[in-house]
C-alpha cells in the first residue's frame, strides 16, 4: 500500500459553532486518516480491506489520507522516515478530523473473525487528538475497541458500506467537536470566574475610589473602599448624586474625555460634601485597622476612556485617591514658609539697621585716622561688615527660595542659563549649552538663581584649584541670591584670563531632567551629602549657603538633585522631576 500525498481540505483550526444547542454537526468534508492495523496472526496488513474503506469514504466526499500503523505511530518507524515524521506531527497537531483504523482480522485468509489483542494495543498507541473509528472484527470486538479508546466501531461486514461509515465517522467527529466545545466553554468559564474574582477583589479592597461610567457618564460600578453605600451612585452622574458646581465640573470632564478620547491625569479635586461619607473608614474597619474618623476633603483623580473591541469609546474608568493629608501638609508648609520669610525680613531689617550705622561711623573714622596700624584694623572691621552683609543676604535667600512654587511657567532652559552666566563672574571659564529648545515648568527667577549658584561653585572652585589661592567664595558655599551683576561680570560665554584655569561648564539634558557639570577638580565622595547642608563650608570665608539654596530651589519645584562625578572628574549635578508633570520637555 502506498502512502498518498497529504491533501488538506478546509483550513484546519477554523472555529466551529454549535448554535448553542444540541451536538455540533460534523464538517461537510471531514479530513480522515485511514490507518491499516496489523493483526499478529495474519502477518503484514494485506491492505485490500483498508483500501476499500478508504474508497468508500472518498465516495462520501471525505478528504482521505492512507497510511500504515507504523507510520502513524511515530517518526522513523514507517515506510520511510520522511513519510513518518510529518504524518506524526500532523496527527498531534489535529490536522485530521477523524482516524479510521482498519484491522484485517482473520483466522484463515478471507474469513472474518475476532481481532487479536495486538490490534487493540496498536490502536491505543496512535498519537491522535482526533476521534478514532475502529473498522474490522465482529460484534464481539466492540467492547474491546471502546476500551482501547475508539469512539465508534464498524464490524468487518460493513467495512465498505458508505452509509454505515458515513454515520459512524460523522457521529464520532460531532461528539468529539461537542467535547471540545464543552471543554472550551469550561475553560472560558473558569477564566471568566477568575477574572471576575480578581475584579471584585480590586473593587472591594484596593484603597482607592474606583469607578466605571457608561457613555452618559453614569456610574455602572463603584468600589467600596471610600463610600459606605456604592449603590447610591449606580445609574447616576456625579451631578445627579450631588447637584453643585464642583460635580457639574467633574461631569463635564467625563463628557469631554469620552468625546475627545483623551485621558485626564492627576487632577486635584475637592471632595463634594454629601450624606455619604467619603473616607477609608469602612475599608479600615473591614481589616481591623480603623482608628477614629479618617474623612478627607481632597482627592487626586485620573480618568481614561473605556473602549470596546472596535476601539469605540463606550465609557470611562477612573480612580481617585485621598490626598487630604498631603494637602494639609502642603498648607502647613506654606504657612511655615510664610512665617519664616516674615521672620527673615524682620531679622534682616533689625540687623541691617545697626550694621549700616556701624558702617557709616567706620567710614567717618577712616577719614580721621592716619596711623597705618589703626587703618589696617579698620579694614578688618570693614571686611567683617561685608561678611555680615553676605550672611544676611544668604539667610534671606535660604528662607525664600525653599517655598513651594505654585506658579510654574514653561521656561526655555537655554535662555535662563544664558542670563545666569552673564550675571556670574566667570574667571575665564567657558560655557557649553546642550539643551536646545528644551523647556521645563519652573519659576524663571528661581531657576536663574539655581544656575547662578552652580556656576559660581564651578568657576570659583576651578579657579582656586588652578591658582593655588583662595578665590572669592568656595566650591561648596558661595551663594547667589539675586540677578545683580558685579563690575567684572562676563557678558560672553568665555574670556581669556591667562592667570586662571580655563574651565568648561556644561548644561545638558538627561532623560526627563537636566544637569550642570564641569571639568574641574570635582567634589570628593565623602562631601557629596554634606555639601547641601546649610552652613557647610570648606574654607574660612565661606557662608555655607550656596548649595543649600540650590537644593531648596530644586525641592520647591518638585525636583531631586544628585551630586556625582563628570566624565572628566569634575562635579556633576543632576536634576530629575519627581513627578512626570515637572519633567523637561522639548527638542534637544
pLDDT at 474 over 80: no
pLDDT at 95 over 70: yes
pLDDT attached to residue 129: 73
Closest CA to 59 of 195, 164, 184, 186: 164
pLDDT by residue (tens digit) across 555-566?
Answer: 888 899 999 899
Closest CA to 454 of 561, 534, 568, 533: 561
**pTM of the predicted structure, to 2 decimals:** 0.46
Tell me which of 504 and 45 has the higher pLDDT: 504
Closest CA to 66 of 75, 154, 78, 77: 78
Closest CA to 72 of 1, 13, 122: 122
pLDDT attached to residue 432: 95
3-state DSSP call for residue 379? Answer: helix
> Which residue blocks in 66-147 are alpha helix, DSSP H?
69-73, 81-92, 117-124, 142-147
**Inter-residue contact 271 to 299 (CB < 8 Å):** yes
Task: Please report which confidence band the pLDDT of residue 192 belongs to, taking 50, 70 and 90 as the band edges.
Answer: very high
pLDDT by residue (tens digit) across 335-348?
Answer: 877 777 777 777 77
Q: How far apart are the first and last CA of the chain?
A: 74
Residue 108 burial (CB count, 10 A): 8
Assigned C-alpha cell, 178 = 461537542
What is the distance between the alpha carbons of residues 16 and 9, in angstroms, rounded to a whole number? 15
Task: Please report which confidence band the pLDDT of residue 16 belongs to, taking 50, 70 and 90 as the band edges.
Answer: very low
pLDDT at 236 over 50: yes
pLDDT at 316 over 90: yes
> Which residue blocks in 262-371 are alpha helix, DSSP H?
281-286, 324-368
Residue in the structure block whose three cell numbers are 589703626: 374
pLDDT attached to residue 385: 82
Strands (E) located in 20-151: 31-37, 63-68, 98-103, 132-135
pLDDT attached to residue 257: 95
The Cβ-side half-sphere exposure at 269, using a 13 Å CA radius, reads: 26
pLDDT at 543 over 80: no
pLDDT attached to residue 318: 93
Residue in the structure block whose three cell numbers are 549657603: 545
Closest CA to 127 of 35, 265, 262: 35
pLDDT attached to residue 360: 86
3-state DSSP call for residue 493? Answer: coil
The Cβ-side half-sphere exposure at 132, using a 13 Å CA radius, reads: 28
Closest CA to 423 of 466, 394, 454, 385: 454
pLDDT attached to residue 487: 35
**Inter-residue contact 281 to 293 (CB < 8 Å):** yes
CA dihedral defined by 326, 329, 331, 334, rounded to 10 degrees? -120
Task: Please report which confidence band the pLDDT of residue 212 belongs to, taking 50, 70 and 90 as the band edges.
Answer: very high
Tell me which of 375 and 110 has the higher pLDDT: 375
pLDDT by residue (tens digit) across 289-303?
Answer: 545 444 557 888 999
What is the distance between the alpha carbons of residues 267 and 261, in angstroms, rounded to a whole number? 17
pLDDT by residue (tens digit) across 401-425?
Answer: 656 666 788 999 999 999 999 888 8
Amino acid at each position: 500500500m502506498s502512502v498518498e500525498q497529504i491533501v488538506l481540505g478546509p483550513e484546519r483550526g477554523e472555529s466551529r459553532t454549535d448554535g448553542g444547542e444540541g451536538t455540533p454537526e460534523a464538517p461537510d468534508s471531514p479530513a480522515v486518516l485511514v490507518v491499516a492495523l496489523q493483526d499478529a496472526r495474519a502477518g503484514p496488513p494485506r491492505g485490500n480491506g483498508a483500501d476499500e474503506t478508504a474508497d468508500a469514504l472518498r465516495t462520501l466526499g471525505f478528504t482521505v489520507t492512507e497510511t500504515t500503523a507504523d507510520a502513524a505511530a511515530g517518526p522513523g518507524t514507517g515506510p520511510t522516515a520522511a513519510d513518518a515524521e510529518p504524518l506524526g506531527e500532523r496527527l498531534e497537531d489535529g490536522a485530521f478530523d477523524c482516524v479510521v483504523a482498519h484491522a484485517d482480522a482473520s483466522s484463515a485468509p478471507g474469513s472474518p473473525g475476532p481481532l487479536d489483542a495486538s490490534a487493540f494495543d496498536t490502536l491505543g498507541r496512535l498519537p491522535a487528538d482526533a476521534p478514532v473509528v475502529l473498522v474490522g472484527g465482529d460484534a464481539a470486538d466492540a467492547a474491546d475497541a471502546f476500551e482501547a479508546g475508539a469512539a465508534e466501531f464498524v464490524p468487518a461486514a460493513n467495512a465498505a458500506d458508505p452509509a454505515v461509515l458515513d454515520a459512524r465517522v460523522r457521529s464520532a467527529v460531532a461528539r468529539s467537536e461537542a467535547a471540545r466545545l464543552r471543554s472550551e466553554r469550561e475553560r472560558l468559564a473558569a477564566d471568566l470566574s477568575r477574572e471576575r474574582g480578581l475584579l471584585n477583589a480590586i473593587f472591594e479592597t484596593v484603597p482607592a475610589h474606583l469607578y466605571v461610567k457608561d457613555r452618559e457618564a453614569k456610574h455602572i460600578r463603584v468600589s467600596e473602599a471610600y463610600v459606605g453605600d456604592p449603590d447610591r451612585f449606580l445609574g447616576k452622574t456625579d451631578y445627579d448624586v450631588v447637584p453643585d458646581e464642583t460635580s457639574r465640573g467633574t461631569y463635564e470632564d467625563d463628557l469631554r474625555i469620552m468625546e475627545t478620547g483623551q485621558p485626564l491625569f492627576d487632577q486635584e479635586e475637592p471632595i463634594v460634601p454629601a450624606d455619604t461619607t467619603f473616607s477609608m473608614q469602612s475599608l479600615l474597619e473591614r481589616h481591623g485597622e480603623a482608628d477614629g474618623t479618617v474623612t478627607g476633603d481632597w482627592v487626586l483623580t485620573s480618568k481614561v476612556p473605556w473602549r470596546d473591541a472596535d476601539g469605540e469609546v463606550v465609557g470611562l474608568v477612573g480612580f481617585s485617591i485621598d490626598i487630604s493629608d498631603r494637602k494639609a501638609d502642603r498648607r502647613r508648609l506654606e504657612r511655615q514658609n510664610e512665617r519664616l520669610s516674615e521672620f527673615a525680613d524682620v531679622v534682616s531689617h533689625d540687623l541691617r539697621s545697626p550694621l549700616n550705622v556701624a558702617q557709616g561711623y567706620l567710614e567717618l573714622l577712616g577719614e580721621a585716622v592716619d596711623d597705618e596700624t589703626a587703618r589696617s584694623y579698620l579694614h578688618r572691621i570693614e571686611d567683617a561688615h561685608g561678611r555680615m552683609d553676605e550672611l544676611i543676604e544668604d539667610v534671606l535667600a535660604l528662607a525664600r527660595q525653599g517655598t513651594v512654587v505654585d506658579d510654574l511657567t514653561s521656561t526655555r532652559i537655554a535662555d535662563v542659563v544664558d542670563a545666569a552666566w552673564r550675571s556670574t563672574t566667570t574667571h575665564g571659564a567657558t560655557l557649553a549649552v546642550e539643551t536646545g529648545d528644551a523647556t521645563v515648568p519652573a519659576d524663571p527667577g528661581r531657576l536663574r538663581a539655581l544656575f547662578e549658584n552652580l556656576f559660581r561653585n564651578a568657576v570659583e572652585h576651578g579657579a582656586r584649584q588652578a591658582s593655588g589661592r583662595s578665590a572669592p567664595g568656595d566650591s561648596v558655599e558661595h551663594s547667589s541670591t539675586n540677578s545683580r551683576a558685579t563690575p567684572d561680570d562676563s557678558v560672553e560665554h568665555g574670556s581669556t584670563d591667562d592667570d586662571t584655569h580655563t574651565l568648561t561648564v556644561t548644561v545638558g539634558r538627561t532623560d526627563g531632567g537636566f544637569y550642570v557639570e564641569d571639568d574641574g577638580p570635582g567634589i570628593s565622595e565623602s562631601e557629596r551629602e554634606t555639601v547641601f547642608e546649610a552652613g557647610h563650608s570648606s574654607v574660612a570665608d565661606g557662608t555655607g549657603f550656596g548649595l543649600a539654596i540650590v537644593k531648596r530651589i530644586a525641592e520647591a519645584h518638585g525636583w531631586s538633585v544628585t551630586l556625582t562625578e563628570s566624565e572628566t572628574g569634575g562635579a556633576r549635578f543632576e536634576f530629575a522631576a519627581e513627578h512626570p508633570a515637572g519633567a523637561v520637555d522639548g527638542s534637544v
